[in-house]
Amino acid sequence: MTKDKRLDGFLELARQKRQDGSGMHVKEWCVLADYGYDQGLAITRMEGFPIFNGRIVWEDWVKWRQIKLQLAAGPRSQTVSAPRSALASKSGE
């Protein structure tokens, strides 16, 4: 755990959102994914990144990352279903 008391509540809330499957802000996602904020912002701008109304659902990000890693690995990749946020944005059009 951190020694910074100001971050204790922040981390606990972010972990709770991850566990509940709730959408989290970019800053919370960066902390949990162990990215710096600037690096995290750059990643959220990548094509197909599962961000919806400024929120990221942890499971959607994990699926997106798995898809990206499988594409980089080559044609022997397994099929992974589309993230929920991608489906939500299509149904909202």
Give me the pLDDT at residue 77, please. Answer: 46
pLDDT confidence tier of residue 70, bands split at 50, 70 and 90: confident
pTM over 0.85: no
Whether residue 40 contacts residue 29, with contact meaning beta carbons closer than 8 Å, is answered with yes
Whether residue 23 contacts residue 52, with contact meaning beta carbons closer than 8 Å, is answered with yes
What total of structural domains would you count in the chain?
Answer: 1
Tell me which of 51 and 93 has the higher pLDDT.
Answer: 51
Tell me which of 37 and 78 has the higher pLDDT.
Answer: 37
Domain with 28, as residue range(s), is 5-91
The 10s digit of each residue's pLDDT in 4-56 is: 777 778 888 999 999 999 999 999 999 999 999 999 999 999 999 999 999 99
- HSE (CB half, 13 Å, CA atoms) of 1? 11
